[in-house]
Structure 1
Amino acid sequence: EAPDSWTHSLLKCLPKFSGAEKTKDMRPLALQNVLMKWVTTTIMVQLADVFPQIIPREQKGFVPGRHMIDHLMFARSEWEAHPDQIMVAIDFQKAYDSVTFPMLKVSLLYVGLPVAYVSVLMSVMSGPVMFCVGKGFVPGEVLRPQSGIRQGDPLSPLLFDVVTIFLIYDFKRLHVTVRILMYADDILLCIPGRLESQVSDLRALIYCLQVFGYFSGLRVNFEKTYAVVKISDPDVPQPKAVGGITVKPYVKYLGALVGNLTVAACYAPVLAKMLSRARTVASLSLGMAERAYLFASWVAPVVYLTARAYAPTEHVISQLNMIHRVALDLTTWHLTMPILALPVTEGGFGQ
């Protein structure tokens, strides 16, 4: 086992929004010491080639060689391919910090990791913690966590993926028609077929989730879990809920919108976020080159995933051009993207 001096860490609770006071509105972040990061990084490097082989293809979160865009593209094609469809975006209550240690240990042993590795990992996860309160004040009492995978550890995302292996296998044992899309704790269930069979399958999946949550600590947050329903029969009314899940016109998965939406509506939240960032860039005292760099590294990436899933319309492209000009503080010049992209030798800005 790793000695306590190696695993000692601070835990800072960051508010999810301004004015948050309740525990449920806090996001715990572990501040690890160098020795602990060295141990976990070494183990992660040694197991880097193993994880892609033991983690099912349905789980793409932080697994080398797997990308979230694959899930987004599949979700869109699945929605368009079936005339009748239910998609459910599952939300967990405090995913990482609620995983039980017995479930984590059983999962690691189940996938065949050596007992020595599991012992080291469990000693690292259960190492002593001092809570960092307020502005740097650290109480003297040392606590030992009884559950949770520490956010801030480079190995934590992959450990979480290992825990979800049981959930994926449980879903498959149900023999229901479902496509499982996972990216860490972000889950999208795609259920094709007629509404009656969809509801029956969904209830079986929800029950499976509840059983899994009882043992793993990963409990579904039904207040933030939503479904979107696609019905081909115009005489069948749109339900307000299916299987106890609230129905909305769309669901949000990995930052993209899926459901009964136009392309413009899919881009709307992305463009709003880009515009907000572009205005922040424009407010800074920076030169043209610095603004262009910030736009390319901080503003533009917001749209990448959505653009790969949905081809932008001319109106969306026009909005992107406007946002680019806002970031460069060139809104009164009426410059277009082609001009900005021209090299300096040809009269452009080379952006």
Structure 2
Amino acid sequence: MTKTVMMMMAQLTTATEQIDLTAEDSRCILLLDFRKAYDTVDRDFLYESMRLFGFTESFIDLICRIHTGTTATFVVNGGQSSALPVRSGIRQGCPLAPLLFLLVVEVLGLALKQDPSLKGLPVPGTVDRTHLFSAFVDDSTLFLDTAKQILHALGIIQAFGNLSGLHVQPAKSKLLFFEPGHLQSELCRYRHRALRRHYQVPWVRDRDRASGQQKLGSSDPDNSAPPPHCDAGGDKR
């Protein structure tokens, strides 16, 4: 089930209010997948991003010409539709497409890295050096020192999506906690059905519990039962 970033933020806000400081202090990793990434990039945003990184107007004009007047057709029941104009996205199959997409995503990386309230994970073997964000085509990864930074980071990602056309696909994104044991003990305090309603994520199965992995946006009916060793009771909401 696909959800908007706003719905993700609403779910995480409710959950964060219920989890105490122990769970919030856990380090975490957000594995982000952009929905229909190449097809949704706002072309004007792409051109402005290229100006931001110092590309010449002649080269930007060349890229603009490549993406001007693009059309698409569909084959349905053996019949081909008339050509429809395509006003967003990067041309699939173009050798420049991955690089152009990364230019757009780099703007998100800069916005996250320049925010003083976000702190990445420490880099082993270094002093006071952290790593916050990395991107490989349409798969981006956000490394957060504490889980309490998630909501603020998602706010930046949402603002970026509104400008660039790139929105996170919750069903294919994942949230991993470094201290799943602490998180699991805190989640067990609350009625499991209420948490499933707010989180919209499955409980961690035995094979996944060691990694602390939870999927965003899943509605697997097999996860309707409470986690092992958890009391299904509690205050009703």
Normalization by structure 1: what TM-score?
A: 0.42
| Residue of structure 1 in register with 2:104 after alignment | 163
Cα displacement string for residues 7-39 of structure 1 (whole angstroms, at most 9, x for unaligned residues): xxxxxxxxxxxxxxxxx9xxxxxxxxxxxxxxx
The answer to whether the aligner puts 1:231 opposite 2:184 as a matched pair is no
Distance 1:233 1:259 in 2: 8
Read off the aligned partner of 2:111 and give its amino acid letter.
Answer: D
- The yes-or-no answer on 1:203 pairing with 2:144 is no
- Tell me if the contact between 2:43 and 2:89 (Cα under 8 Å) persists in the aligned partners: yes
Q: Which has the higher contact order (CA 8 A, sep 6+)?
A: 2
Offset of residue 156 of structure 1 = 0.5
Count of residue pairs brought into register by the alignment: 168
Question: Which structure 1 segments of 5+ residues have no match?
Answer: 1-23, 25-82, 251-257, 262-351
More helix by share: 1
Over 3 Å counting, the alpha-carbon distance change for 1:232 and 1:212 in structure 2 is closer
1:86 and 2:28 aligned = yes
TM-score (norm 2): 0.60
Percent sequence identity is 24
CA distance in 2, matches of 1:137, 1:150: 24
Runs of 5+ unmatched residues, structure 2: 3-24, 121-131, 188-194, 212-237
CA distance in 1, matches of 2:136, 2:78: 34
- Is the contact made by 2:70 and 2:87 (CA closer than 8 Å) also made in structure 1? no
Paired residue type of 1:166: V
| Preserved contact between residue 226 and residue 248 of structure 1 (Cα < 8 Å) | no
SS state of the match for residue 89, structure 1? Answer: strand
| Alignment check: 8 A CA contact 2:180 2:209 kept | no
Shift of 1:120: 1.3
Q: Map Cα deviations across residues 206-243 of structure 1 (whole Å, 9 max, x no partner).
A: 000000000100012223322122328759725468x9
Partner of 2:68: 126
CA distance in 1, matches of 2:61, 2:183: 59
Give the alignment partner of residue 191 of structure 1, picking from 131, 144, 163: 144
**Separation in structure 1 between the aligned mates of residue 61 and residue 32 of structure 2, nearest angstrom:** 32
Per-residue CA deviations over 1:287-315 (Å, capped at 9, x if unaligned) read: xxxxxxxxxxxxxxxxxxxxxxxxxxxxx
Does residue 108 (structure 1) correspond to residue 53 (structure 2)? The answer is no
Q: How does 1:1-351 map to 2 (within 5 A)?
A: 84-134=26-76, 137-139=79-81, 141-175=82-116, 176-178=118-120, 179-193=132-146, 198-199=147-148, 201-231=149-179, 237=185, 239=187, 246=201, 249=204, 260-261=210-211
Q: Which secondary structure does the structure 2 equivalent of 1:237 belong to?
A: helix
Question: Which of these two proteins has the greater Rg computed from alpha carbons?
Answer: 1
Contact 2:102 2:135 in 1 (8 A): no
